[in-house]
Chains A and B, each alone.
Chain A
Amino acid sequence: MVFLTRRATFSASHYYWNAAWPAEENERVFGRCSNRNGHGHNYTLEVTVAGEPDPVTGFVVDLKWLKDVMEREVLQAFDHRHLNLEVPEFATLIPTTENLAIAAWKRVEPAIAAAGGARLSRVRVYETPEIFAEYRGEA
């Protein structure tokens, strides 16, 4: 079994806000992230797939294909967007790094499963070089 990871970057804005809470509670829990005018990050998305190298090509998956899946399923929706206002998942879900990792998994997983062969192993989203979240699917 070999694990293969592809990285891509996207830039987006967001804010953290739980509509069920009063403003003071949002400000207390989320701090500066609760500013309703939003703020932005340069995110890094890492998608890791696991599988056996193909005996003919030596590939676990074709990296160009994986790049295209990430581009089509995630970057086209997230890149240079306001996550709260323009990405359907985050109409109700707070766009934390954890939820971004889960949303990105759900977006790329069907295409990877449909291709057969390698399986999706891990999705990691870096909000900054010092902050990241990872989702490994449900065990």
Chain B
Amino acid sequence: MKAYFGRRYTLSASHRLHNDALSAGENRSLYGQCNNPHGHGHNYVLEVLVGGEVNPETGMSVNMAALDGAVRGRVLERFDHTNLNLDPVFQARVPTTENLCVTVFGLLKDALPGGELDYVRVEETENNFFEYFGE
């Protein structure tokens, strides 16, 4: 039987929403406070849902400790307590939470210890979040 296992992690990072292709005025009007020059930070919540057949020997779809290791190694160690704008992936992409969500999905998709990645959700604050299910 296929069941889905979900896990939530937190990571704290700073970012500034700014697109070099736009003028200072356009950036200001598009991104508002998020365009403030020195950036700002969030406590992001990362939620990962993995689908897989429940192993009859363990009762588990995916081993949680192994999943934690993959998420820590691929995502948390890379982004936690960093400035997202300085990460190579965000040189060509604005580090909106949409783009962070899609990036995390890409980093985890082929790095799971088992099962298939169903979605990645990133909560930027308690009141806004983004989900990506892949293409």
**Interface set of A (CB-CB < 8 Å, partner B):** 16, 18, 20-21, 29-31, 93-99, 101-102, 124, 129-136, 138-139
Contacts and interface: CB of A to CB of B under 8 A. Distances in A.
Interface stretch (B4-12, B34-42, B75-83): B4-12
Contacts of A94: 58-59
A130 B3 CA distance: 17
B94 interface: no
Given A98-B54, A124-B6, 8 more contacts: A16-B58, A29-B58, A31-B65, A93-B59, A96-B60, A132-B5, A135-B1, A139-B2
Given A94-B59, A133-B3, A134-B3, A102 B54 contact: yes
Interface of B: 1-9, 49, 54, 57-61, 64-65
Contacts of A124: 6
Given A101-B3, A134-B49, A129 B8 contact: yes
B6 A135 contact: no
A102 B8 contact: no
A72 B2 CA distance: 26
Contacts of B4: 133-136
A131 B9 CA distance: 10
Nearest to A29: B58
Contacts of B1: 102, 135, 138
B58 A18 contact: yes
Nearest to A101: B3
B65 A132 contact: no
Contact of B3 (A30, A131, A135): A135
Given A98-B54, A99-B54, A138-B2, A131 B61 contact: no
B64 A131 contact: yes
Given A31-B65, A138-B1, A138-B2, A98 B60 contact: yes
Contacts of B8: 129-131
Nearest to B10: A130
A135 B118 CA distance: 13
A20 B57 contact: yes
B3 A102 contact: yes
A105 to B, nearest CB: 9
Contact of A98 (B7, B9, B57, B59): B59
A30 B55 CA distance: 13
Nearest to B5: A133
- Nearest 8 Cβ contacts at the A-B interface: A94-B59, A96-B59, A134-B4, A98-B3, A132-B6, A130-B8, A99-B59, A135-B3
